[in-house]
Chain A
Amino acid sequence: MSHARQVAAGALAPAAGPGRDVGLPGGGRRRGIRGRFRGRSWVGWLFVAPALIVYAALVLRPLTMSIQYSFYDWNGIGAATWVGLDNYAEVFQDPSRLRALGNSFRLIFFYSFLSIAIGLVAATLTRSLASRWARAAQTALFLPQVVPLVGAGIAWTWLYASDGAINQILTAVGLESWTRPWLADFDLALPAVGVVGTWVLVGLCTMLLSTGMAKIDPALYDAARVDGAGPVQEFFAVTLPGVRAELAVCLTVTLIAALASFDVIYTMTLGGPGGATMVPGVDIYQLAFNQSRVGAASAMAVVLMALVLAVVVPLQYLVRERS
């Protein structure tokens, strides 16, 4: 999953910046002295080497090995058997694998759309507040980002328990018929863990979007007001187009968080009840470390990576072409 994040971060970087030309091997800018530079081109490689070696050893090599393992039936220790595409066939035929993939797309609603929507509202509201209060509000929203996800998962498990705070509040306001063991409910367990994702990511989205809004020229708002725009029109005509780049970053980060989610699900439900909240991250973990089916786990991981790229890369092109 970290490699997926790496790729996404790479895709986010500007296409061609001045930094790219410094010290990279392959010749200089000026054709006239190209010959002189050619002899020294290995110096460039030397500069790149430490980063390249670390990247190759820690990202590319495991990635290649995962792809290789995905074609084998292997328990992690004994001899491996070549099985061709069987592991991939299983990913697309086994209902529990497909369900895990489907759940990760359902989580996108909570991780991406809900947290960005709330983040937009929060950023717009705090923009008009006095700066000290705005900062306090943003800090409060951002705090969940600082909490380790495993701790957050355990705390939310208590909130959702049948005698937990959520059911106590519902009982107190007379909604006793709504109380239930949330994480044991087949239909509501996935939304319940999804809300935790929203809770964590709202702060990040709010902060990114506020930063974007701060960069919008106030003259644009004045102009809009002169033209008679209300707050809502102002939002759609000025604010939203102004934070397009930040929106893309929010969307990319939260999409990856949704598709590659692990910690919260693992600590809160283990994928239960009956697979209702199973996601690819937990599934891969179970396959590799509980069932010792390294090949099947690798195939699932490769499919997950492909899905993340398939969602995130087009997004990058879309944003880049517009801007």
Chain B
Amino acid sequence: MRDKPDTITSTRRALVRAGSILTVAALAACAPPGSGSTTPEPDPDAPVQEVSTELTTEDVELDLYLESGFTDAWDALQEEFTRQYPNVTFRVRADSFQNLAQNAVRIINAPDAPDLIRFPTVASAAKDGLLANLDPYAAAYGWDDWPQGTLNQVRVEPDGSRGSGSLYALGVGYNTTGLYYNKDIAADLGIEVPPATIAELEQMMEAAKAADVVPMMVGNADFTVAFPYQMVQNQQPGLDDLKDWIYNAPDASFDIEASVTAAETIQRWAGEGYFPDDVNAIDYSTMVGRFADGRALFMPNGDWEAGGLTSGGSGDFGFFLFPGVQEGAPHVAMAAPATYVVPSTASNKDEVAYFLDWIHTDEVARQIVLDVTGSSPGGPAELPAPVAPEGSVIEETLAAAATLADDDGAIDFIGNATTGILTSTIGPDLQLLVSDRITPEEFAASVQQGYQTELGR
């Protein structure tokens, strides 16, 4: 009795299966993925586009896509701009940095792309033709005459390498990194900052350790040891090789002496107990929280934390640029714009370029950028710097940014070399390095291998 229904059932199963496969075949494109993209490839020989530096008198609504932690600064900027130019209003969407980093390409590629969007990694999107080339605006507004150390980071060649080529982004706030220190602890230990050399910095950390204070608060669960690592690496000879590597120049290699020396230093520091015992279990926010609580002498970080350490911290904090190997060496530090791009399909390019220029040059706007982000507003070198609250750590981060600009010592973060290099390779390998599970040489070679895999070299 059971035979017949079973046969029928299996025939039906086969039919259903066949039907599904047909449906799937009809639905799934047979063409290789990505071939349906209508985005034009950038044409380097295209005639220079006509742009206007006159702000329209018609009513315009600029569509902004921002990072949710930074909407305060943007609220103030929008309000001031609309006050000066009442015909321009704003529409704002915001998302967390993580979500933004993952979805930005799709948002930029969408038919209703915003006019301006926070976008951390410009190179491949620029290469794929998704971003507006800002060269015509740079020429018209004179952006090419601003200090170029940080702007070069968002220049992209047609082959996708960064560091030179056409401008594809501007910063709203230019970040500088260095060492924060706890003034009370430093005073107790009789330490006078800034140290003149790395050796002097090590003596200070030794003094802190002897007094049972964590010398350098750093969290490596989400790979922040990359900060002190690169801070040491930046001071070694061969800086141009490192920049080439970050900018994906052909044949660039991470497997260089500077990388190995820095890895040796970091491994030694971990062994000496200069980092917290549980460094690999501390995440970024715990790191900042513990430092703000007064539980360490130093913290390597960027000026974006200056605002928080001024208002919420219990102690009194200071900031200085990382020292060199030799006394008096020019300062080198990771410094990068918080990058904003204009999608190539944006509908109000002229207006948004005017707005960007205004943010960099208007006195009120520059003050807003500093007050709310704690970062330098960038822009023309001859403009006076905005004023920081006296005696605040913001005053020190701003001074550090100015010193760095004088020394032309800005370098991009190694984690920005490719979109995934920090989480896929540098981060996990640093976790192994600080716990003595790989050698400095293996570290440098492994990072290079991850880099080549990701770039398909």
Q: Which residues of A contact B (CB under 8 A)?
A: 16, 20-21, 24-27, 29, 45, 48, 52-53, 55-57, 60-61, 64-65, 68-69, 72-80, 82, 160-162, 181-184, 186, 269-275, 278, 286-287, 289-294
Contacts and interface: CB of A to CB of B under 8 A. Distances in A.
A234 B432 CA distance: 51
B12 A25 contact: yes
Contact of A181 (B27, B222, B277, B424): B277
26 contacts: A16-B2, A56-B20, A56-B23, A64-B27, A64-B28, A78-B127, A79-B34, A80-B33, A162-B278, A182-B281, A183-B280, A186-B437, A272-B427, A272-B431, A273-B280, A273-B428, A273-B431, A273-B432, A274-B428, A286-B420, A286-B423, A289-B102, A290-B102, A291-B418, A291-B424, A293-B454
B9 interface: yes
Contacts of B222: 270
B281 A161 contact: yes
B35 A79 contact: yes
Nearest to B32: A80
A160 B124 contact: no
Contacts of B19: 45, 52
Contact of A60 (B24, B125, B278): B24
Contacts of B20: 52, 55-56, 60
Interface centre among B2, B5, B222, B428 (most CB of A within 10 A): B428
Contacts of A64: 24-25, 27-28
B37 interface: yes
B125 to A, nearest CB: 8
B419 interface: yes
Contacts of B56: none
Interface string B1-43: 0100110110110011001100111011000111101000000
Nearest to A55: B20
A53 B424 CA distance: 38
A161 to B, nearest CB: 7
Interface string B419-457: 110011001110110010100000000000000001010
Nearest to A295: B33
B221 interface: yes
A161 B431 CA distance: 17
Contact of A286 (B6, B16, B424, B456): B424
**CB-based closest 8 A-B pairs:** A291-B420, A181-B278, A184-B280, A184-B281, A274-B432, A290-B420, A162-B278, A181-B281
Given A162-B276, A292-B420, 12 more contacts: A26-B12, A48-B16, A52-B19, A52-B23, A60-B24, A74-B34, A77-B34, A77-B125, A78-B128, A80-B33, A181-B281, A186-B435
B277 A77 contact: no
Given A52-B20, A270-B423, A26 B15 contact: yes
Contact of B9 (A16, A52, A61, A80): A16
A24 B16 CA distance: 9
Nearest to A162: B278
B271 to A, nearest CB: 15
A273 B431 CA distance: 6
A77 B427 contact: no
Contacts of A26: 8, 11-12, 15
Contact of B281 (A21, A60, A76, A183): A183
Contacts of B456: 73
Contact of A69 (B12, B33, B280, B432): B33
Nearest to A182: B281
B296 interface: no
Contacts of A80: 32-35
A274 B278 contact: no
B419 A290 contact: yes
Contact of A272 (B9, B35, B221): B221
A13 B148 CA distance: 66
Given A56-B24, A61-B28, A77-B109, A160 B281 contact: yes
Contact of A21 (B9, B16, B124, B429): B9
Given A274-B429, A291-B454, A181 B280 contact: yes
A287 to B, nearest CB: 8
Contacts of A290: 102, 419-420, 423-424
B105 interface: yes
A252 to B, nearest CB: 21
Interface string B374-401: 0000000000000000000000000000
B281 A57 contact: no
B130 interface: yes
Contacts of B105: 76-77
B12 A183 contact: no
A24 B11 CA distance: 11
Contacts of B127: 78
Interface string B275-289: 011111100001000
A166 to B, nearest CB: 12
Nearest to A60: B24
Contacts of B278: 161-162, 181, 184
Contacts of A68: 28, 33
A72 B33 CA distance: 8
Contact of B23 (A29, A53, A162, A271): A53
Contacts of A82: 32
B130 A77 contact: yes
B315 to A, nearest CB: 19
B5 A271 contact: no
Nearest to B102: A289
A72 B279 CA distance: 39
A62 B130 CA distance: 25
A61 B20 CA distance: 10
B159 to A, nearest CB: 13
Given A274-B429, A274-B432, A74 B33 contact: yes
A274 B435 CA distance: 9
B28 A65 contact: yes
A66 to B, nearest CB: 10
Contacts of B277: 162, 181
B316 to A, nearest CB: 24
Nearest to B108: A77
Contacts of A184: 221, 278-281, 435
Contact of B27 (A20, A24, A56, A72): A56
Contacts of B431: 272-274
A182 B15 CA distance: 54
Contacts of B37: 77-79
A60 to B, nearest CB: 5
B74 to A, nearest CB: 26
Nearest to A73: B456
Contacts of B435: 184, 186, 273-274
Contacts of B5: 16, 21, 29
A75 B128 CA distance: 10
B301 to A, nearest CB: 20
